Structure 1
């Protein structure tokens, strides 16, 4: 007899298929026996007009929409078709760990919203015609949304089979703000079981794979967003990040992704297991095909003063003004490069990306490059891994077991195989919070020590402005192998804003391990062995991240702008 959880999954997938079938005109037949990379396929199957629209950056789209060169309806229809195509791409797929062959779709969508999207687009077109002005700063811009962020009247399962029929009573606050700014919601994207993987697989929708190479992961937990944007089925979307869940898919798919300081953007209205506390704060944030898209998102949400509705937020508007930009462009920029966290050695492609950036930056006037000495990053993982599940993973375990669904490999890894997970007393938790705060203070002290002197107004002079570092130990890993979080979770523990950007691509002719390589530990050996042979990763995107101190979000964005221009 078929297990009940499988029947639930079949019903949910049938519902998804109904939405995909509503897209008009229907997709042409997709070729069989596609290669591992399917990023080129949309250009073969869509019209030139659809390609022009969906290949545009968010800021480019908005310029055409507000000028009346493209209608909101035309743009919405183009993105619906490209998103549905992204979902449906399929070919033979080799699963490395089990040595089995499966048929897997890119599988980045949980729900397409063609009826709602077209209705909204028509409303926007009427508005601009009647009022001769856009509805708001995001007029007609399609935005994709990670499924766990609630939409009124729609299910919000957060990838738990037990929550398959959980319906939200209201839109999440962040969606209300974006809606009022004139956007169109048209696609909801996949996440992993328990929301605590740097990959994206669950028992409701299956495995999401990387469009650049479907033997690899798009990252997670906002992996559906990453895969959809890699195929340009979206140019701007919302993810969430508690350990790297925005930055991992951004790096793995050649995108920009921003994890802001916690309590700047609203988090309310989402589905997730509380895991016994909120001692490591999650943050919503954008993924985009452009840096301007990241800044546009942040500016729009914070311009609405969400702290007036959500008192858990810091009352801090987006401060990226001309004055700030002129100031930062005018002062010397001090960038510290963290080549390794001294726990797991980055793959040669990541080191090469850092080397390229370092060489370029050294030739820019008014930029100083120094090395960053990581402070006890192994200890940081111990602290954060304990604080993730102070209830011993009980709530997550109950949700998984309630439906009878099987445990995914990386759910097992982060909860059942994690030596730091156990149910803790109040005194234990208080001690861990003290450890967290002490570590933050020690790291701040290390950062302050990079200053060369004090100015008359008491500010530290000559201090490091930002840290440039890896996003992960390599490019996108093989499936079920993303077991090292510390290049991203480090900054979650410290609550530092971090902005990912595409840096280069793997070149198998040069990105091989040195012959005298010796592993520092078992984690390092696992990472080394996973990236052999390097030919399997040739052409994969390699991202880096720029990290700032708490509430230096704007500074991080401006400095990346500056580096991009130079």
Structure 2
């Protein structure tokens, strides 16, 4: 870059190139009014008018297994599926600002190659044959930029694909867009000084979550059937839950990360992980199984050599799934969840009992200590790392996600302290090992009260003590980061949405602390109108297959409960 180029000029030029990449025929002639909150079905409306009935049918097929079947049998070509999702993604972008990289011709050409292969060989190219997949703006694609919202990385074109991109290509997928993130990635919201703010499709006054907020918003708009996010403290699970999706946070090194750009690179003791977001659990499974079966450890030196375990997926270590015992965590001991989250927990508990499973209360063990510990690890040299990235252009480090002039901005919970010495960091990591040993012992001791002869099979907990918040008011809580600290596998799943009748504000006079009081003050049903509500299933380290299977059981129990009771979920 020229020494005379300002960060503002770089941001403006990049944004202009992005807009020029949108096909003119896909631009909205009559977008919804600014005050229109819920825009999820706008792409199908006559006012939009850009999608054909065939394209609406394709993009409304949220079951990824069904999509893959239609692609593998040539009922639908990869070209038409990719084009349909691309058009809907561009429409979504114009409504909620979810994309960064747009490369239509390249993706369509890839889809044509896959169609040709299927026609010539009579078989699909791989387990993800022809499926469009969106990538968070840090999973490199050769020849494209991955700025993660930093102006100093504008113009730095990737010289190679990330390992995960290579794996997805080898599985037959069609990477077709990259999605928006917050500056530095270390936020539970999505806003940066290049691409701006991503909005929640269910209510555009609310956040889409972060740091995989572009993925969450895009998939909620059905602009992608399956996407890749990353999670260092909740960055897959926040956007999944805030947008009514399924999202999986695997234990570190199960999914390859090599070649992706990142914040806090070199922080190997509390690393970010890559994982899937989708409108269907079949999408989550398709991604995990395909990527793990590709043996990514051949390409990524940090990827664990652990093959897909079908016995674990069949819950061989969990009574074969016939009668599971779930620990239900009502709160984390620090902040009481809002009424919609409390209702979701009760509904899931009732559904599991009706399906013949057991539930027991789960008492959180030192969650605040676990959170404080991992936050110190994150911040050990964060200021130095982030300043090194921002300084070449003079781009300011964001200190809030709130719109300019907003009042009542929440404390996001991270503090950029002085850089710690190696010895100081070692002591923090040593303390975390002790906390992990304690937590494992507590989990192991639960065998005394489950009645199954096993400890609890999994924990069901909130993802956050609130649904998607107004912009600038999303604090980082222990509800997600504690499981990162323990390196446990987690799967977020949707349950319901905020209901002003069922979820009235609850009067309270006593609080667990200042954070609890602020969270209570934030809530009103009108503020959170339409907001999706979800929870997470938590298993132990490297239990990806079992956690996926148990989430499928929970999801099925919820569907059956809704059908039998006609409960409004």
What's the TM-score, normalizing by structure 2? 0.91
CA contact (8 A) 1:276 1:389 kept: no
Which string of whole-angstrom CA distances, capped at 9 and with x for unpartnered residues, describes residues 296-341 of structure 1? 1000001111112222121111213598257754542010000000
Q: 1:380 aligns with which of 359, 370, 379?
A: 370
**Residues of 2 paired with 1:216 and 1:139: CA distance?**
35
* Paired residues of 2:411 and 2:475 also in contact (CA < 8 A): no
- Among candidates 457, 466, 469, match of residue 474 of structure 1: 466
Distance 1:75 1:233 in 2: 11
- Give the Cα separation in 1 of the matches to 2:466 and 2:195: 27
8 A contact 1:193–1:411 mirrored in 2? no
**Change over 3 Å in CA distance of 1:205–1:71 after alignment to 2:** same
- Residue in 2 that maps onto 1:370: 360
Note closer, same or farther for the CA distance 1:399–1:311 as it changes in structure 2 (3 Å cut): closer
Q: Which residue of 2 aligns with 1:427?
A: 423
3-state DSSP of counterpart to 1:264: coil
Alignment correspondent of 1:493:
485
In 2 relative to 1, CA 330–379 (structure 1 residues): closer, same or farther, beyond 3 Å? closer
Q: Per-residue deviation at 1:36?
A: 1.1
The Cα offsets for residues 266-321 of structure 1, whole Å up to 9 and x where unpaired, read as: 01111123266322021100001100110110000011111122221211112135
Choose which of 498, 505, 511 in structure 2 pairs with 1:513: 505
In structure 2, do the counterparts of structure 1 residues 116 and 275 end up closer, same or farther at CA, with 3 Å as the change threshold? closer
What is residue 173 of structure 2 aligned with on the other side?
183
Task: Say yes or no: does 1:198 pair with 2:188.
Answer: yes
Once the two structures are superposed, what CA deviation does each residue of 1:490-536 show, in whole Å capped at 9, x if it has no partner?
Answer: 100000000000011101122123223433222112212222x3212
Is the 8 Å Cα contact of residues 231 and 249 (structure 2) preserved in structure 1? yes
Q: Deviations over 1:184-240 (max 9, x none)?
A: 111110010001001100001001110111111000100000000010001100011
Unaligned runs of 5+ in 2: 403-408, 558-569
Distance 1:404 1:178, change over 3 A: same
8 Å contact kept, 1:339–1:351: yes
- Structure 2 distance, partners of 1:88, 1:328, is 48
Partner SS, residue 472 of structure 1: coil
| Cα separation, partners in 2 of 1:452 and 1:402, compared to 1, 3 Å | same
Query: Does the CA-based 8 Å contact 1:209-1:218 persist in structure 2?
Result: yes
Contact 1:484 1:523 in 2 (8 A): no
RMSD over aligned CA atoms reads 2.3
8 Å CA contact retained: 1:226, 1:250:
yes
Q: Match of 2:36?
A: 35
> Counterparts of 2:426 and 2:136 in 1: how far apart (Å)?
32
Q: Which residue of 1 aligns with 2:324?
A: 333
SS in 1 for 2:277: strand
Which position in structure 2 is the counterpart of 1:79? 85
Secondary structure at the counterpart of residue 460 of structure 2: strand
Whether the aligned pair in 2 keeps the contact of 1:247 and 1:499 (CA below 8 Å) is yes
Does the Cα contact within 8 Å between 1:263 and 1:313 map onto a contact in 2? yes
Distance in 2 separating the partners of 1:80 and 1:332: 43
Give distance in 2, aligned partners of 1:388 and 1:159. Answer: 19
Are 1:353 and 2:379 matched, yes or no?
A: no
Instruction: For 2:437 and 2:312, locate their aligned partners in 1 and report how far apart those are by CA, in whole Å.
Output: 32
* Equivalent residue number for residue 529 of structure 2: 538
1:104-503 counterparts in 2 under 5 A? 106-274=96-264, 277-321=267-311, 324-325=314-315, 328-365=319-356, 367-410=357-400, 418-419=414-415, 421-452=417-448, 461-503=453-495
Residue of structure 2 in register with 1:98 after alignment = none
How far, CA to CA, are the matches of 2:392 and 2:477 in structure 1? Answer: 28
Judge conservation of contact 2:329–2:362 (CA < 8 Å) in 1.
yes
Q: Summarize the Cα distance change of 1:305–1:502 in structure 2 as closer, same or farther, 3 Å threshold.
A: same
Shift of the 453–482 alpha-carbon distance from structure 1 to 2, 3 Å rule, reads closer
Q: Contact 1:155 / 1:167 at 8 angstroms: preserved in 2?
A: yes
Q: Which residue of 1 aligns with 2:59?
A: 54
Task: Answer whether contact 1:197 1:410 (CA < 8 A) is retained.
Answer: no
Could you say what secondary structure the match of 1:185 adopts? strand
Larger displacement relative to structure 2 (375-384 or 221-230) = 375-384
Question: Does the residue aligned with 1:464 lie in a helix, a strand or coil?
Answer: coil
Name which of structure 1's ranges 122-131 and 418-427 shifts more when overlaid on structure 2. Answer: 418-427
Contact 1:328–1:558 (CA under 8 A) maintained in structure 2: no
Runs of 4+ in structure 1 over 6 Å off: 411-417
Q: 2:19 aligns with which of 17, 20, 42?
A: 17
- CA spacing shift, 1:483–1:25, aligned 2, 3 Å: closer
Cα distance in 2, alignment partners of residues 86 and 212 from structure 1: 12
Tell me how far apart the structure 1 counterparts of residues 14 and 310 of structure 2 sit (CA, whole Å).
Answer: 43
Alignment partners' CA distance in 2, 1:514 and 1:33 = 31
TM value normalised by structure 1: 0.91
Q: Distance in 2 between matches of 1:110 and 1:529?
A: 35
Q: Does 1:70 align with 2:66?
A: no
Q: 1:416 to 1:124 in 2, by over 3 A?
A: closer
Distance 1:565 1:221 in 2: 29
Separation in 2, partners of 1:166, 1:519: 49
Native 8 Å contact 1:415 1:421 kept in 2: no
| Counterpart Cα distance in 2 of 1:419 and 1:25 | 43
